A = this chain, B = another copy of it.
Amino acid sequence: MLLGRVAGTLVASRKEGSMEGLKLLVVRHLDVENEESGGFVVAADAVGAGVDEVVLVATGSSARQTERTRDRPCDAVVMAIVDTWEVGGAEKYHK
């Protein structure tokens, strides 16, 4: 999964019908030091994530394995809100 921070939201009123009702988030990628690493993805929200929250994004067909995204043309989904992670024994982020 990709690690990212919710940077904002995106609205698209004209879309494939099955995408109705999905909230779309702009998620900036984070590195293991909790710094933005330059990239981003537009992902559907499966967990009620808010702006500035640190999240995990699943991509590809795995992005359709949530209740909200099943069988939809969605290739990226926020499927978890991160509480904390540590690397090399040091905590890099705490919600």
Contact = CB atoms under 8 A, between A and B. Distances in A.
A84 B42 contact: no
Most buried by B among A15, A61, A67, A77: A15
Copies of this chain, complex-wide, total: 5
B63 A73 contact: yes
A72 to B, nearest CB: 6
Interface string A20-51: 00001010100110000000111100111000
Given A60-B60, A60-B75, A66-B16, A1 B82 contact: no
Given A1-B24, A65-B73, 5 more contacts: A2-B41, A7-B87, A14-B48, A28-B32, A31-B40
